[in-house]
Structure 1
Amino acid sequence: MSACRCRTTGDPLRAPVQDGGTVTLNGKVYSFGGTDGSDPLFKAYVHDPATGGWQRLANMPQALEKPGAEAVDGQIYVFGGWTVTGAASAAVYRYDPTHGTWSTAASLPSPVVAGGTAVLGGRIYVMAGCGGNCVPASQATYVYDPRTDTWSRAADYPVRDSWQSCAGIDGRVVCAGGTDPVDGTELASTFSLDPVTGAWTARPTCPTPTGPWPLPLPAPGCSLSAASAAER
């Protein structure tokens, strides 16, 4: 019998949120920004499954819709997203969960919204996404090193993509699915980046396209796993 790929209902957020940045750290789930359907949000929340419920955190320095969010060395980084004016942001903010405080980190080289994000080897990777109102799209791959607070650029993502699911797996960055931000085509493509060679490689595609809002648990047969990241 195969393992259950099940979802159960968890505690609801205190208010509706769409297109927020989410990340897990030390067993807790964090939610940053997003939109209430009308405007970008400043609000930030944390959920501890051990105690239940969602708790408000200090507001983000800027209201952002669809920012990226990743955690490295106990710190959470929130970056990019659409601002209240509808412009794409290049700002990067660092949240310290221990002290509940925000600080500013080095900005992205260019504004990015809805790009794929991952952590590998203590660095944050940001792939493709929208460079503004999604026209033109970005295919850039940016790499952030928290130790030096600097960004560098890696090989461009092989295709136009946004809202793709990415993860650092088995020494590679793996991204799957998403949607072409220019023409809206739903994608089933999968690629892996080897940080040693600096090259992207095509991998087996997902059985079905994931659409503009890929789920944390991908469709059957499209899970991000070590088998996707490397030839076995």
Structure 2
Amino acid sequence: MERFRDRTEAGRLLGQALRERTDLADRPDVLVLGLPRGGVVVAAEVARALHAPLDAFVVRKIGVPGHEELAMGAIASGGIRVVNEDVRASLLIPPEVFELAAAREEQELARREAAYRGERPPVDMRGRCVILVDDGLATGASMRAAVRAVKQREPARVVVAVPVAPPDTCRQIERMGVEVLCLSMPEDFGGVGRFYDDFAQTTDEEVRELLHVSTSH
């Protein structure tokens, strides 16, 4: 089982793999987008390795009440919503409970966009090669929402790059017509945090600092 010391190490290894296995390094049309919060730490190292600009793309998981780590859906900028029907059906979650949780996450999504972006306008993705990065995928609901939202912005190409995810989640995302690069695809998954020695929460301040360093270069 591949383990990572922390998100920074995972990002370095992911950036190295992208350099070696793809044609994405040192290209003017590449844009790296990290899913806040933890994904931005990984994405910062990927952007450094590829000599590409970094930004955040805000997606919010809609967690099952009392088991928030389990996604019953996700939302992304641009009014995108993805529902994990399997999870909703198996746990008999009523529509009104889902809507209440979704409304809460929409508020948090708006808050984070304002916190991370400030006055900066959303980045133009049209015709670019967009690399979506997170610190790992479980159900993949958040990443599927991100892919759908990014595709609305008319990029030339979308690549999903993550350190760890279950094989079936990677296959689901590939079926959306995007490339997937995943360093480790264990069958016995059990949660992203299992694959990190240090999986401490990333703060808003850390995200802002990483984005500030990137835009000031």
- TM-score, reference length from structure 2: 0.28
Judging by fraction of residues, say which structure has more helix: 2
- TM-score, reference length from structure 1: 0.27
Q: Report which structure shows greater RCO (CA 8 Å, sep ≥6).
A: 2
